[in-house]
């Protein structure tokens, strides 16, 4: 007759699990911050990509010149003039280093040396980009010249190079 008082109790019902939607305010703030960060990174990447387009194009032209030089017989004057034209267009027009526009000869070679942090243009194979290319007879190390130009193109930076040239003038 001793009835168990626990038998009179009803079962325990657990509360309903919370749904994932709508998220808590902290998740909304985190999502907004992530979206702002992605937008900012995208704008920075696009600005960098746009600013370095002339440098990539110059590298492509020099690589095409090297391939054309290997497959056919370009004369020395054409190779030197095309390398010089690519460098002038990149530095003066695309990267807006106007002080280099009127430079030639030793000044031009010194500026190229400053940009590349080498002596390849004043004392090496790149010296033909100065006054030597106007001589009737000059010697050209094609591979050395193309290597110097490629090295310069790998060193040039769309902001730092301009500041380096402006400081030295």
In order of 19, 65, 126, the CA distances from 58 in angstroms are: 57, 10, 17
Residue 166 has pLDDT above 60, yes or no: no
pTM of the model: 0.73
pLDDT at 162: 55
The H or E element that residue 72 is part of is none
pLDDT of residue 78: 87
Q: pLDDT at residue 44 above 90?
A: yes
Which residues neighbour 158 within 8 Å (Cβ) at sequence distance 6 or greater? 51, 52, 54, 55, 95
Q: How many helices (H) and strands (E) does the chain have?
A: 6, 0
pLDDT in tens, 74-100: 788 888 999 999 999 999 888 888 888
- As a 3-state breakdown, the chain gives helix, strand, coil percent values, each rounded to 5, of 70, 0, 30
């Amino acid at each position: 007759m001793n009835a168990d008082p626990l038998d009179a109790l009803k079962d325990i019902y657990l509360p309903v699990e919370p749904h994932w939607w709508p998220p808590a305010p902290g998740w909304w703030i985190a999502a907004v911050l992530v979206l702002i960060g992605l937008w900012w990174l995208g704008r920075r990447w696009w600005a960098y990509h746009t600013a370095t387009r002339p440098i990539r194009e110059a590298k492509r032209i020099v690589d095409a010149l090297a391939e054309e030089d290997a497959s056919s017989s370009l004369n020395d004057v054409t190779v030197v003039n095309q390398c010089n034209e690519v460098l002038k267009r990149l530095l003066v027009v695309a990267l807006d280093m106007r002080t280099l526009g009127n430079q030639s000869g030793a000044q031009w070679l010194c500026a190229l040396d400053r940009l590349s942090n080498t002596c390849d243009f004043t004392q090496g194979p790149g010296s033909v980009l100065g006054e030597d290319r106007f001589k009737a007879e000059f010697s050209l190390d094609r591979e050395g010249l193309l290597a110097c130009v490629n090295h310069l193109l790998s060193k040039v930076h769309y902001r730092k190079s301009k500041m380096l040239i402006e400081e030295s003038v």
